[in-house]
Structure 1
Amino acid sequence: MTDLAYLQPTQRVNVREVFGIDADMTVPAFAERDGHVPELDRAYRFNPQATLAILAGFAHNRRVVLQGLHGTGKSTHIEQVAARLNWPCVRVNLDGHISRLDLVGKDAIVLRDGQQVTEFQEGILPWALQRPMAMVFDEYDAGRPDVMFVIQRVLEREGSFTLLDQKRVIQPHPCFRLFATMNTLGQGNLSGLYHGTQLLNHAQLDRWNLVTSLDYLPPAEEAAIVLARVPALDTEQGRRQVRAMVALASLTRKGFAVGDLSLLMSPRTVITWAENTEIFQNLDVAFHLSFLNKCEPAERGIVAEYFQRCFDAELQAWAEPDMALHHAL
């Protein structure tokens, strides 16, 4: 197998043919599929604006940020573009446990020739920087300040990276690409929805070349994705059911926007509900377990009303599963 560090893009991908976007644009792609390339999801639906921004990132080495509510598929969007370009990709979640040492590297005791010796182990950032790798920082607005300043230098297009402990300057691989996803716009937890997010340094935000937002898909496209994930529902009755599920999810999003609900149904939740419906063979039970039990007790009446409007039936109260459900399990 070819060493990852020596892989180069040798093909050009037509954006109109591969992504279905009306744009006269070609993007470099790799002929070989490395083990770091994400799995291809043929059912994935691309948002044109976000996709063009991501493709510009790959083609022209632009630093790209995707912002949007949870469940809109921000990270998956980048991964699925990379999958179609055969571009190796690695995701790093900037949760509170990711430290500067995790990114940069640290000294570690290793066994060499039967002797314990101390060696410097590279962190994920210098490792990726030296390879044709698309690096995605998830939850970018939740990163610790010390971690964010480590990232700041490599945000420059040709930004080198200095390993102080090694007295070594690393030049980025020509095919290294950098992306990030975040729920807020770097202004902290103004809505109260995303605890743990931080106010981002404006000098750092200014270094991102492209910023785009990703919203929820139109209902018809969202329903098509659910059916692709749960093919057993692709019947006349199942399609009606999925359309009602998506309509209910849309109502929760509107209710959240006006302050009636403190929680909304993301496309991920709708897919989970559909999958759980197949497991439990009961729409109402699956809805309780997938979404309703997450809601505040005072809000469940509103959600039940949404359910009645979309399914023209009352949501059944939680009860002990019947024998048919036991049999299904």
Structure 2
Amino acid sequence: MTNDVPLTRPDVRLEAREVFGIDSNLVVSGFAEPAEHVPEIDEAYRFNPDVTSALLAGFTHNRRVLVQGLHGTGKSTHIEQVAARLNWPCVRVNLDGQLSRLDLVGRDAVVLREGRQVTEFQEGIVPWALRRPVALVLDEYDAGRPDVMFVIQRLLERDGKFTLMDQNRVLRPHPSFRLFATANTVGLGNLNGMYHGAQRLNHAQIDRWDIVASLNHLPAPEEIEIVRSRVTSFADDAGREQVAAMVALAQLTRKGFEAGDLSTLMSPRTVITWAENVDIFGDTALAFRLSFLNKCDDAERPLVAEYFQRCFGRELDGSRALAATA
């Protein structure tokens, strides 16, 4: 990571209705030309209006935005695709259990300078991003370790200044630095047993986020079109009918999860994976077993097989055997 800091600021104004296809009169800031770390545009991506409006407020008005939702709903992708259309550099950091405070802040390291070993401070991702026109996205925000979370808390203050204790320096954020996060819960921890590793978060820290947006499953027609846009072999009328049945099955698993009948559910990501596997194996039932059924608890598989029968009008291969062993 270099120490030269670009002074670039947004230099164009864009109409949200035209760029993102949402019903909004928002005019947002962006960059005329893409730079390093700008994500690639996915032309098939469909934007959730509420979440898009929240993210655009984050980019244009420097609001800290937390996007919460179930796994596989595309929280991080949503942020990236907004950044891509604004030509705003975007860097993602996963707050898994292995990420330490030193990874975020930086540490002393031994380097070679003119053939001699010297100790030099290597800055972490936070000070690097803070000094640049970059959108820093903290993925799995509710899985971060306590020491990591307190490093982040200072960034959530109104002025966002960051102190490097080892360097006796106070960093001021670049005018175009932005901060976002994604989480499966809103700091409530692993209440339903679905998200192992999710931590209960300090309410004072959650309160520092200016905007909390919720991104969950799309309406069936939109989910169908997203799957078809990702897997082009389903672009014809027969493909639409098949994907509609797949999405209907996914929705049954979500209702079953909400009712406590299932311990897992099909995310939109899983539906796309299933469609891709149908392309590979040429068999809808086999692809379903490999994409989702084998992830389910043995006792729940007969119910999932029943969902398949209801949506496709035929039994899932081996469903009788599943019922016999249940």
For Structure 1 versus Structure 2, the TM-score category normalised by the shorter chain is: over 0.9
Aligned to 2:45: 44
Aligned to 1:297: 298
Aligned runs of 1:27-176 on 2, under 5 Å? Answer: 27-176=28-177
In structure 2, give the amino acid aligned to 1:147.
Answer: V
1:240 is aligned to 2:246: no
Deviation per CA, 1:128-159: give whole Å up to 9, x if none: 00000000101101100000000111112321
In structure 1, give the amino acid aligned to 2:120.
Answer: E
Q: Extract unaligned runs of 5+ from structure 2.
A: 320-326
1:187 is aligned to 2:179: no
SS of alignment partner, residue 108 of structure 1: strand
Q: Extract unaligned runs of 5+ from structure 1.
A: 319-329
CA distance in 2, matches of 1:5, 1:138: 25
CA pair 4-40 structure 1, distance change in 2 beyond 3 A: farther
SS of alignment partner, residue 227 of structure 2: helix
Q: CA RMSD in A?
A: 1.1
Instruction: Please report how far the alpha carbon of residue 6 of structure 1 lies from its aligned counterpart in structure 2 after TM superposition.
Output: 2.5
CA pair 178-312 structure 1, distance change in 2 beyond 3 A: same
SS of alignment partner, residue 46 of structure 2: coil
CA distance in 1, matches of 2:160, 2:181: 17
Instruction: Please report how far the alpha carbon of residue 288 of structure 1 lies from its aligned counterpart in structure 2 after TM superposition.
Output: 0.8
CA distance in 1, matches of 2:20, 2:239: 28
CA pair 171-121 structure 1, distance change in 2 beyond 3 A: same
Q: Would you identify which runs of 4 or more consecutive aligned residues in structure 1 move more than 6 Å?
A: none
Instruction: Please report how far the alpha carbon of residue 23 of structure 1 lies from its aligned counterpart in structure 2 after TM superposition.
Output: 1.8
Deviation per CA, 1:88-122: give whole Å up to 9, x if none: 00000000000000000000111111111110000
1:307 is aligned to 2:308: yes
Which 10-residue stretch deviates more, 200-209 or 261-270?
A: 200-209
In structure 1, give the amino acid aligned to 2:49.
Answer: P
CA distance in 2, matches of 1:95, 1:136: 13
Instruction: Please report how far the alpha carbon of residue 79 of structure 1 lies from its aligned counterpart in structure 2 after TM superposition.
Output: 0.6
Deviation per CA, 1:259-315: give whole Å up to 9, x if none: 010010000000000001101111111111100000011100000000000000111
CA distance in 1, matches of 2:278, 2:118: 55
1:264 is aligned to 2:265: yes
CA distance in 1, matches of 2:103, 2:115: 27
CA distance in 2, matches of 1:99, 1:169: 21
Is the Cα–Cα contact under 8 Å of residues 69 and 185 in structure 2 kept in the other structure? yes
SS of alignment partner, residue 75 of structure 1: helix
In structure 1, give the amino acid aligned to 2:275.
Answer: A
Instruction: Please report how far the alpha carbon of residue 180 of structure 1 lies from its aligned counterpart in structure 2 after TM superposition.
Output: 0.6
Instruction: Please report how far the alpha carbon of residue 32 of structure 1 lies from its aligned counterpart in structure 2 after TM superposition.
Output: 1.4
In structure 2, give the amino acid aligned to 1:219.
Answer: A
**Normalising to structure 2: TM-score of the pair?**
0.95
Aligned to 2:220: 219
CA pair 4-283 structure 1, distance change in 2 beyond 3 A: farther
In structure 1, give the amino acid aligned to 2:16.
Answer: V
Instruction: Please report how far the alpha carbon of residue 7 of structure 1 lies from its aligned counterpart in structure 2 after TM superposition.
Output: 2.1
**Normalising to structure 1: TM-score of the pair?**
0.94
CA distance in 2, matches of 1:171, 1:46: 32
What's the % identity of the aligned pairs? 70
CA distance in 1, matches of 2:5, 2:45: 27
In structure 2, give the amino acid aligned to 1:183.
Answer: N
Is the Cα–Cα contact under 8 Å of residues 5 and 131 in structure 2 kept in the other structure? no
In structure 2, give the amino acid aligned to 1:313.
Answer: R
Deviation per CA, 1:11-69: give whole Å up to 9, x if none: 01101111122222111100111120111011111111111110000010000001111
Which 10-residue stretch deviates more, 286-295 or 23-32?
A: 23-32
Instruction: Please report how far the alpha carbon of residue 4 of structure 1 lies from its aligned counterpart in structure 2 after TM superposition.
Output: 6.5
Deviation per CA, 1:162-203: give whole Å up to 9, x if none: 101111111000000000110011011111111111111111
